Amino acid sequence: MTAKDFLQLLQDSPLGVALGESIYMYPLVEGSHLISLVFSFGLILLTDLRLIGFFLPSVPVSDILHRLRPWLLGGFAVTFITGFLLVFVSGPNLLNNLVFPLKLLLIVLAGLNAMWFEFKFGRRVADWGVQAVAPAGVKISGWISLISWSFVVTCGRLIPYLATH
Amino acid sequence: MSTQSFFQALQNTELAISIGQSNHLYGVLAQLFHIGGLVLILAPILLVNLRLLGTGLTNQPLRLLVKSTNPLIFAGLISILFSGLFMFAPSAALYYPNPAFWLKFQLLALALLVQFTLYRKVTASENPHRTLAIITALISLTLWFGVGIAGRAIGFIAA
Q: What's the rounded Cα separation, in Å, for the pair A116 and A157?
A: 27
Q: Once rounded to an integer, what is the mean pLDDT over residues A4-18?
A: 95
Nearest-CA distance from A1 to chain B in Å? 34
pLDDT of residue A162: 83
Q: Pick the residue from chain B with its C-alpha nearest to A71.
A: B56
Q: What's the rounded Cα separation, in Å, for the pair B63 and B65?
A: 5
pLDDT in tens, A87-97: 999 999 999 98
The answer to whether residue A165 scores a pLDDT higher than 70 is no
pLDDT of residue B1: 82
Q: Once rounded to an integer, what is the mean pLDDT over residues B101-117?
A: 97
Q: Once rounded to an integer, what is the mean pLDDT over residues A118-123?
A: 96
C-beta atoms of B72 and A58 within 8 A: no
The answer to whether residue A164 scores a pLDDT higher than 70 is no
C-beta atoms of B42 and A158 within 8 A: no
Q: Tell me how far CA of residue A163 lies from CA of A8, A95, B115, B126, in angstroms.
A: 15, 7, 39, 49
C-beta atoms of B57 and A31 within 8 A: no
Q: Once rounded to an integer, what is the mean pLDDT over residues A80-107?
A: 95
Nearest-CA distance from A42 to chain B in Å? 5
Q: Once rounded to an integer, what is the mean pLDDT over residues B91-117?
A: 96
Please name the member of A31, A41, A59 whose beta carbon is closest to the beta carbon of B57.
Answer: A59
Q: Once rounded to an integer, what is the mean pLDDT over residues A50-74?
A: 97
Q: Pick the residue from chain A with its C-alpha nearest to B71.
A: A55
C-beta atoms of A38 and B39 within 8 A: yes
pLDDT above 90 coverage of chain B, percent: 92
10 Å CB burial of residue A132 (0-12, 13-18, 19+) is exposed
Q: Once rounded to an integer, what is the mean pLDDT over residues B113-135?
A: 95
Quote ipTM for the complex: 0.94
C-beta atoms of B57 and A42 within 8 A: no
pLDDT of residue B159: 60
pLDDT of residue B81: 97
Q: What's the rounded Cα separation, in Å, for the pair B159 and B138?
A: 31
Predicted TM-score (pTM) of this structure: 0.95
Q: Chain A within 8 Å of B59 (Cβ-Cβ)?
A: yes
Model confidence at A161, pLDDT cuts 50, 70, 90, reads confident
Q: Once rounded to an integer, what is the mean pLDDT over residues A129-141?
A: 95
Q: Once rounded to an integer, what is the mean pLDDT over residues A53-64?
A: 96
Q: Once rounded to an integer, what is the mean pLDDT over residues B88-107?
A: 96
C-beta atoms of A46 and B43 within 8 A: yes
Average pLDDT of every residue of chain B: 95
pLDDT in tens, B36-63: 999 999 999 999 999 999 999 999 999 9
Contacts of B42 (CB under 8 A, 6+ apart): A38, A42, B144, B145, B148
